[in-house]
Structure 1
Amino acid sequence: VVMDIFKGKTTAAEVARQYDLTVSEVEGWIDEAQRSMENGFKARPKDIREQHESELRETREALGEAHLQIYALKKFKRLLDEDENS
């Protein structure tokens, strides 16, 4: 709906009437959409890359912790099995 307003296909007042909203609610949507689009253009590829690298680092750390837990549980199970067999 907001894109239709941006394209000039309709107005905020028409949308408000059609969806039983106030004009200020529709204008709020328009403002929010404009801010979101502006922020999208402001994001630099370097910032996005740093964010992805950070997420990848966190994922690798979590995977490493899970691997250590599995290793420790397997070792603990082997020790318990040895005690039962003794």
Structure 2
Amino acid sequence: MSMIMEDEIKRWTAKRKSALVLDIIKGKSTVSEACRTYNLPASEVENWVVDGKRGMENALRANPLDIKEQYERQLKQRQEAYREAMLELSAKKTTAPVGREQQMNG
């Protein structure tokens, strides 16, 4: 990482996370390298990168959204995706072929 890090990091502050994310974005490091170096789960580092990019995009908007608006928009998108997944699952259940046992008993 471009900033000096202690041998063992006990707490990942926003400043440390942003320095690591910038190194990944700049190509100075990769998610897998960061995970090995700092003993972090890949999903956590990937989430930091996604959050960093989202924050950067918002900061560069002509009219940036406040944090509450960002979370409300994200929540709405996830709720919609959940509804769609549940509808799809429900449709698959209702159109599933009748099993051989059910045909014989019914």
Q: TM-score, normalised by structure 2?
A: 0.40
Give the structure with higher Rg (CA).
Answer: 1
